[in-house]
Amino acid sequence: MTTAYFLVLPNVHMLDLGGPLQILSSVAELGLAPLTVRCIGPHSSVTSFQGPALGRVERLPARLEAGDVVIAVGSKLLDTLTTSPAWHDSAAWLREIFGEGRNGGVQVAAVCTGAFLLGAAGLLDGRLCTTHHAHIKRLRARHPDASVIDNRVFVRDGNVWTSAGVASGIDLALRLVANACGDEAAIAVARDNVVPFRRFGADPQLDPQFSARSHGNPLVHAVQDAISRDLEANVADPRFAQRFAVSVRHLSRLFHEETGLTPKQYQLTLRMARARKLLAASTLPVEEIALKSGFASVQAFRACWNKGEAGTPSAYRQASTRSAG
């Protein structure tokens, strides 16, 4: 991402805006990437549904650059809004920017009822999407050509992202960071803002990098960072624990209390996740994938693989290739 544009309309919900705005602003603040954040809209100032006013709203830009993302922020979905010039002008702008396959290098996202604005611009037709649970039926009725999914934190379909709104806008923003800057950057932003990665029951399983990070223990986070950086590390070696001024036994107990895993189990989940990614995205031989994933030998990799996978690595690769095609 290069610039994140928050599209705000009258009666904007403060948390729909403030959550993801804080997350994406943290990217540059933490020195992770030179991401610029701007609020745009048809009015130079808007009053939120909760009362406070937002000023210095910039005009809708005439063009966007590859790497930009536009986030339609949720507002109180009143008829006075959806029939207003501000609504129609914003939908027309989105249609002009993104319609008919234009701006393939730009992403568009919606927080909560912002999905209705994307729908008004025709950007949800033929796509998977979601919105706040109270508006699922309304979105389906208003945009029957969209595939609206409920009980989801967020949904991505190509370059279009939608979220359930309110606090889930934070989850969406973290995934935008992970997608653009990598998992480690997203984890750093989440830790700085003291928020966990989470999912609803029907959401896809989180990457192991995220799924064991929903805790606030800085020492365990530091250990996880060290393991992520060096998948070959011997986490049972006392010298590894000494780097964090604790014993192996104390580290293992503390790690398990916070994550439900031992350091070794966590390391193996990351190794396996790396191996799956390499199998799906490369033509490297299994022997090389095993070494790149931190395993001491291909035999060790296959033993670990056979414990958690029904088929062979080759079958997994073939299935991934068919799915991508």
Contact present, 111 and 16 (Cβ < 8 Å): yes
Give me the DSSP letters along 54-117.
Answer: E--PBPPPS---TT-EEEE--B---HHHHTSHHHHHHHHHHHHHHGGG--TT-EEEEETTHHHH
pTM of the full predicted structure? 0.72
> CATH 1.10.10.60 spans which residues of the chain?
215-325
Topology of the domain covering 3-192: Rossmann fold (3.40.50)
Question: What region does 262 belong to: left with phi over 0, alpha with psi -120 to 50, or beta?
Answer: beta
Q: In terms of CATH architecture, what is 215-325?
A: Orthogonal Bundle (1.10)
Bridge partners of 69, per DSSP, are: 4, 107
- Which 3 state secondary structure label does DSSP give 7? strand
Residue whose C-alpha is closest to residue 205's, from 269, 134, 126, 136: 269
| Separation CA 200–CA 140 (nearest Å) | 20
Per-residue pLDDT of the chain (325 residues; tens, 9 = 90+): 899 999 999 999 999 999 999 999 999 999 999 999 999 999 999 999 999 999 999 999 999 999 999 999 999 999 999 999 999 999 999 999 887 666 668 999 999 999 999 999 999 999 999 999 999 999 999 999 999 988 888 888 989 999 988 888 999 999 999 889 988 888 889 888 888 766 544 455 556 666 677 777 889 988 988 998 899 999 999 999 999 999 999 999 999 998 899 999 999 999 998 899 899 888 999 999 999 999 999 999 999 999 988 889 999 888 877 655 5
- The dihedrals phi and psi of 212, each to the nearest 5 degrees, come to -105, 20
User: Taking the mean position of all CA atoms in its chain, how far away is CA 14?
Assistant: 20
**CA–CA separation, 310 and 284 (whole Å):** 21
